[in-house]
Amino acid sequence: MPISKKRRVIAILKLPRKVPALLDFAVSVVKAMKNNRHFPAPTPQLAEVQHRIDELRAAQAATLDRTEGTVALRDEKLVALVSVLWHLRAHVESVADLRPRDSRRIVRSAGLAVRKVPERAPPQFRARLGAEPGTVILLAPAAARRSSYDWAFSVDYGGTWKSLPMTLQARTVVSGLPRPAIVKFRYLAITKEGEGLWSEAIAIFVP
């Protein structure tokens, strides 16, 4: 039975920016999925997710001593935990897809939020992985018939931004990104009316 676009829901990872809050979120997901009848054999296994939680918690505690190298290790464990959470989200979504009528309840039972996909979604700023490792394809809504676009990315959660080449189309391909990493992107459209504002940033995990 094909899945109706009106019924299909997308599982959302609303990841907190602070490490302690992220740990609490990850723990809540593991608790929600443990012995959950909808997920008898989750992928990745909950034991692996818990292992990543424990590693990040230990690495986070080590940073309190301000010893050299502890922050880098903490960031490494942070990326590892986010990676398994993204894979777990994909698994939850695939299970929900098999039961469209119950999909929202199934996703929520895993401790995740849901976003319903409208039949005709308005154009949005999107990012998807490219075919080559470390490559991301960015797609933005067209601002005008004649316009140009500035792009930027950040690998430190929006703390600093690096410029990318300007394009005359509302899309670009970014290659050579660090990996694994959580990368944020934003864009700015320039039309005959002048320069616009930077868009809201979106993030994607680059494995």
Look up the CATH number of the domain holding residue 151: 2.60.40.10
Query: Does residue 155 contact residue 178 with C-beta atoms inside 8 Å?
Result: yes
Domain range enclosing 72: 9-116
| Mean pLDDT, all residues of the chain | 91
Domain finish residue from 116, 139, 159: 116
pLDDT of residue 9: 79
**CA atoms 173, 175, 165, 181: torsion sign:** positive
Helix (H, G, I), strand (E, B) or coil at 195: strand
Domain boundary among 85, 116, 147: 116
Please state, in angstroms and rounded to a whole number, the distance separating the CA atoms of residues 140 and 127: 9
Nearest to 25 by CA among 72, 76, 74, 81: 81
What is the per-residue pLDDT for 103? 92
Length of the chain: 207
Low-confidence ranges of the chain (pLDDT < 70): 1-7, 116-122
Q: What residues have CB less than 8 Å from 97, skipping those under 6 apart? A: 3, 8, 103
Query: Which pTM does this prediction carry?
Result: 0.62
Element (H, E) at 56: helix 46-63
Integer Cα distance of 185 and 178 in angstroms: 14
Say if residue 148 is in the same domain as residue 61: no
- Which residue, among 96, 109, 97, 132, has the nearest Cα to 207 in the 3D structure? 132
Position 4 in a domain: no
- Cα atoms found within 13 Å of the Cα of residue 51, Cβ hemisphere only: 8
How confident is the model over 133-176, as pLDDT tens digits? 999 999 999 998 889 999 999 999 889 999 999 999 999 999 99
110 and 82: one domain? yes
* Residue 192 belongs to some domain of the structure: yes
